[in-house]
Amino acid sequence: MKLSHILAMTWARSLEFLRDRSALGWNLALPLLMVAGFAWIFSGPGKPLFTVAVIAPETTPLSAESHPFLATPAVRFYREADLAKAQAKVQRHRIDLAIDLPARRYWINPQSQHGQLLEQLLHGVGGAPLQRQEVAGASIRYVDWAAPGMLGMNLMFSCLFGTGYVIVRYRKSGYLKRLKATPLSAAEFIVAQLLSRLLLVLAVTVAVYLGCDAFLHFRMDGNPWTLLLVTAVGAYSMIALGLLVAARVTSEELAGGLLNMLSWPMMVLSGVFFATDGAPRAVQWVAQWLPLTPMLEAARAIMLDGAGLADAAVLQPLLLLATMSLLFTLLGAFGFKWTQD
C-alpha cells in the first residue's frame, strides 16, 4: 500500500462529505436538537418507575413466598448476582433499592425519594426485618445519563450509513469500477474509507458534545481523553461493520435494509434512552454483542463514575470493541469486490 494513495482517497472522500451541506448540517443539528429536547422534557421530576435489585440464589423465586415485599405492585424486581454492582447502581440512582434476602439486608440511597418510599413499603409489608445500609451518592440528571446514548446513536447512524450505503452507491454507479482501473488497490481504498469516516465522525461528535456542554454542563468525572479513545474505538467498530455489510452488496435498497436491521436493535437494546438492567438475560446477552452497548457502558463509566482506562468498566468494553473491529475489518476486506459482477 502507498501512503500517498490512501491520503489522496481520504481527502477526496472527506471533501465529498463536507461539500454536502445538507448532510453535514443534519449530522450537526440532529444530536443538538435531541439533547436539548430531552434536557427540556425531563427537566422536571421523572416518572414514578421503581426498580429493585434482589440478591438471591437462582433457586429462590422472586415472589411473595420469599418475602411479602416482592408482591408490591408498581415495582419491577430483577435478580442481580453481583452485590457490588447492585450497590453501585443504588449509589448512582440507576435503581431505587437493593435487597439481599439471604442476609436480610437492604441498601438505599438516602437522597433518593423513590428509595425512601420503597423503604416505607418494605417496613409495612411484614416479614422478617431487614437491616438498613446506606450508599451515598450525588443525584445524576437524566440528561447526563442520556447524552452519551443520544450522541452514540447519531455516531452509529453516521458510521453505518456513511460507510456501508456510500460504498454500495459507489459500486452501483460504476465509480468503483473506474477506480479499479487506477493504481489504487482495494486495500488502499478500504483504509482510506475507514480513515475518512473515522476522522469525520469524531470531529462532528466532538463539536456536538462541546456545543451541548456549553449550555447543559455535562457531568465529567473521568478523563476526557479516555472518553475520546472509547469513542474512537467504538466508532471504528461500527464503521468496520458498515464495511462488512457493503463488501459485496450491489443494491442500495438491500444495503439500507441490512443497515436498518443492525441499527435499530442497537438503538433499542444498547441503552440509548433507558437502562436494560431488568431486561431478560437473553436480551442482555444479545445487547453485549452490539458495538454500541460496550461503547455506551464505557462512556458512562468514565463520565458518571470517573472510571479510568485500567478499570474493568472501561478496559473490558474496549477489548470487546477492539475484537469486533478486527473481526469486521478482516471479513469486510476479505469479501470486498469492486464491481457488481
pLDDT at 46: 46
- The partner residues of 77 in beta bridges, in order of sequence, read 52
Place of cell 474493568: 312
**Cell 458498515, located at residue:** 242
CB crowding 205-243: b at 16 or more within 10 Å, else e? beebbeebeeebebbeebeeebbebbbbbbbbbbbbbbb
* β-pair partners for 51: 76
Q: Which of 21-30, 231-240, 284-293, 323-332 shows the lowest per-residue confidence on average (mean pLDDT)?
A: 21-30
Q: CB-side exposure of 62: number of CA atoms within 13 Å?
A: 17
End-to-end CA distance of the chain: 25
Distances (CA, A) of 184 to 17, 144, 170, 190, 197: 20, 45, 15, 10, 18
Q: Which domains does the chain have, with CATH numbers?
A: 3-41+141-335 (no CATH), 50-134 (3.40.190)
CA-based max dimension of the chain: 80
The overall average pLDDT reported for the chain is 83
Residues with Cβ < 8 Å from 208, sequence gap 6 or more? 28, 31, 32, 35, 151, 154
The pTM of the whole model exceeds 0.85? no
Please give the Cα distance from 307 to 226 (Å, whole number). Answer: 9
pLDDT digits (tens, 9 = 90+) for 264-276: 889 888 888 777 7
Q: How confident is the model at residue 223 (pLDDT cuts 50, 70, 90)?
A: very high
Contacts of 280 (CB under 8 A, 6+ apart): none
The pLDDT tens digits for 301-324 are 999 888 999 999 999 999 999 999
Give the whole-angstrom CA distance, residue 296 versus residue 147: 10
> Is pLDDT of 135 > 70?
yes
